[in-house]
Amino acid sequence: MNKQPQKKNISMQQVLTALLDTQNVFPPAYFRHLSDLEGKDLEAFRSVWPKVNTTRRYTLLEDLEALAEVDTLVSFDSIARLALEDPDPRVRTVAIRLLWESEDYRLVPDFLRLLNEDESKEVRAAAASALGLFVYLGELEEIPEDVQHLVEEKLLDVMRGQDDELVRRRALESLGYSGRDEVPELIREAYLSSDPEWVSSALFAMGRSADQSWEPDVLRMLKSPKANIQLEAVRAAGELAIDKSRRALLDMLEEEAQDSEIRAAVIWSLSQIGGEEVRETLEKLADETDDSEELEILESALDNLSFTEDADLTGMFDFADLGQLDNVYEGIDDYLSRIETDDSFDIDDLSDDSSDSGTDRKKKSGNNKDKS
């Protein structure tokens, strides 16, 4: 079981003194002392923060972001919330990124304010990206419906407005999670544009949509000569678990001189799709690689592949079958009630009563897709 790393006996005053000391590098050993700040420690940090050199404020948040990516036990949300008001746009941008995984919908007003009012397009774009999580949580019914609708409306306003293209593209990507009727047409329009950046954002949104109707469009772009388009097509193929992309992705792993980011995306997408040759290929690559970073990616992908395979196995006994089971239970209840009043009732009659409705339910479920 993971345990929170023990903090050394270092006082908050020592941390703050080091933060103000621009003659020396801020000790990385102090980073964890900034996790989960609250109460007096947070107030002490708040009082010192404006006095910290601008460059140090920026680099500190970048360092905290890097640590948070590799250590899920740390949280710098309290510092990030404070930094949303920082006068430097670079600091505000990183602060937003530090909050990208926070599911606290009380952040929505702050993100909307930054999206609508901030002078920096990078900050507005980061805010648009951050709001995507709340569209997603709304689709899962994990936040109030009115919050989700507010976020969607504001993102749609940005898409229809005259803001910088970077901001509008990030808004489209966040809307990818949405079930709103307007969204597919916006994605389609971006996909059909001649701008590689808009095509890339459209593919990003497709990957978030859970909509299999985008499959042909994603497959078409797997061979795009534009690296950013190909990258997002690879990612979307994995997010949508497109079986037909498996062969193309496996072939891409055999290509030499391949972009490392695309290669990493191919490995991960294959772990999301699973099926024939995937485990054998990833295990072979893991055995043969001398690249420690790629080995780490492959090991994570193999762990995820196990999850995918378990889900596929569960799918063999999934909700379509549970639907049939419901009919069996209903038939048994019917049988028990009828046998009490009719001694001549034959249990063989039960199968005729339930078979058709079970078949119909399976067809409605959409879970009869063949898997390799």
Per-residue pLDDT tens for 137-146? 999 999 999 9
Rounded average pLDDT over 270-298 = 96
Residue among 146, 148, 59 at smallest CA distance from 103: 148
Rounded average pLDDT over 40-53 = 96
pLDDT exceeds 50 at position 91: yes
Give the pLDDT score at 350. 38
Rounded alpha-carbon distances, angstroms, from residue 4 to 1, 28, 30, 38, 173: 10, 17, 15, 17, 34
Rounded average pLDDT over 4-27 = 84
- Residues 127, 157 contacting (CB under 8 angstroms): no
* Strand boundaries in 137-258, DSSP class E: none
pLDDT exceeds 80 at position 325: no
Q: Mean pLDDT, the chain, as a whole number?
A: 87
| Distance between CA atoms of residues 240 and 158, nearest Å | 26
pLDDT exceeds 50 at position 320: no
Give the pLDDT score at 332. 47
| Per-residue model confidence as pLDDT tens digits over 194-238 | 899 999 999 999 999 999 999 999 999 999 999 999 999 999 999
- Residues 138, 181 contacting (CB under 8 angstroms): no
| Per-residue model confidence as pLDDT tens digits over 229-276 | 999 999 999 999 999 999 999 999 988 657 899 999 999 999 999 999
| Distance between CA atoms of residues 279 and 268, nearest Å | 12
pLDDT exceeds 70 at position 371: no
Give the pLDDT score at 93. 98
pLDDT exceeds 50 at position 21: yes
Give the pLDDT score at 311. 84
299's tokens: 């090991």
| Distance between CA atoms of residues 24 and 133, nearest Å | 38
pLDDT exceeds 80 at position 354: no
